[in-house]
């Protein structure tokens, strides 16, 4: 039973979420079912306002669902209290957003090490590998404001992966970068997620970005439908 669960780190069943509006309740997610296997990557696409980011926030325990379940790391995120959700995010998840959320008062190296240090999961060899692959060797003593947008995003990726999380949730991770930088960073991001042994669920508007991942899903009318899979 344990091995089966470990092969399926994220399992969503009949997840629903609505918001109260002056004209009445607006349903964003309506009985969503979704499964992500260990080491698998999936892109989540959909029109603006379709609920893609809301789904990521629910998985991360940053918001509450109306009904349904989110089984992650052998726990139902929907039934956890705030403290348990925070522990789960720190130990088992990483979140990568369009805004990089680097700590302005820390140099690059300390930013990279931040989450790994919080959960006591430092790995010097993997740290060096991330730094080299992301081209950050000459940036380690600098502060975030001294970096370009592309460099800041690379630091955010290194920080997110150093502790080798079970699941990486990414919301338009290259949205602030130009097209050439986006493609370059996306390729590195996908490869390093695989090397960390993590699963990846990424929200994106870009069909080209989505094509880097194993699966593509479309969210519309509160429902998820699977699109074409990436050809290896």
List domains and CATH numbers for the chain.
Answer: 2-226 (3.40.50.300)
Measured CA to CA, the distance from residue 130 to residue 109 in angstroms comes to: 11
Of 6-10, 42-46, 81-85, 180-184, which gets the smallest average pLDDT?
Answer: 6-10
- Give the phi and the psi of residue 143 in degrees, each rounded to 5: -105, 155
β-sheet bridge partners, residue 231: none
Longest CA–CA separation in the chain, Å = 56
Region 172-180: mean pLDDT is 79
Report the distance separating Cα 129 and Cα 160, nearest Å.
14
* pLDDT at residue 183, as a whole number: 82
CA–CA dist 124, 138 (Å, integer): 17
As a whole number, mean pLDDT of residues 24-29 equals 90
Give the CA radius of gyration of the chain: 18
For residue 98, pLDDT beyond 70? yes
Pick from 144, 146, 145: which is nearest to 158 by CA? 144
Residue-wise pLDDT tens digits, 30-48? 999 999 999 999 999 999 8
Which tokens go with 205? 């508007």
Categorize the per-residue pLDDT at 7 as very low, low, confident or very high, splitting at 50, 70 and 90. Answer: low
Q: What is the mean pLDDT of residues 96-114?
A: 93
Q: What pLDDT, on the 0 to 100 scale, is given for residue 182? A: 82
* Average per-residue pLDDT for the chain: 90
**Of all residues in the chain, what percent carry a pLDDT higher than 90?**
75
Question: Is-above-0.85 flag for pTM?
Answer: yes
């Amino acid at each position: 039973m344990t091995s089966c669960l470990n092969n399926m780190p994220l399992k969503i069943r009949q997840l629903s979420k609505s918001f109260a509006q002056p004209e009445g309740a607006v349903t964003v997610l309506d009985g969503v079912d979704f499964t992500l296997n260990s080491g698998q990557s999936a892109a989540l696409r959909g029109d603006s306002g379709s609920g893609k980011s809301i789904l990521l926030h629910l998985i991360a325990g940053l918001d509450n669902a109306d009904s349904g379940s989110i089984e992650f790391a052998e726990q139902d995120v929907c039934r956890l209290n705030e403290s348990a959700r925070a522990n789960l995010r720190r130990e088992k998840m990483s979140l990568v957003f369009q805004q990089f959320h680097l700590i302005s008062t820390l140099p690059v190296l300390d930013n990279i090490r931040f989450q790994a240090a919080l959960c006591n999961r430092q790995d010097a060899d993997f740290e060096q590998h991330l730094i080299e692959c992301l081209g950050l060797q000459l940036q380690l003593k600098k502060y975030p404001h001294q970096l370009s947008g592309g460099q800041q995003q690379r630091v955010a990726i290194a920080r997110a992966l150093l502790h080798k999380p079970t699941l990486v949730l990414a919301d338009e991770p290259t949205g602030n970068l130009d097209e050439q930088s986006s493609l370059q960073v996306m390729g590195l991001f996908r490869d390093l997620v695989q090397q960390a042994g993590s699963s990846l669920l990424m929200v994106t508007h870009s069909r080209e970005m989505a094509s880097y991942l194993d699966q593509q899903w479309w969210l519309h009318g509160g429902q998820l439908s699977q699109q074409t899979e990436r050809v290896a």
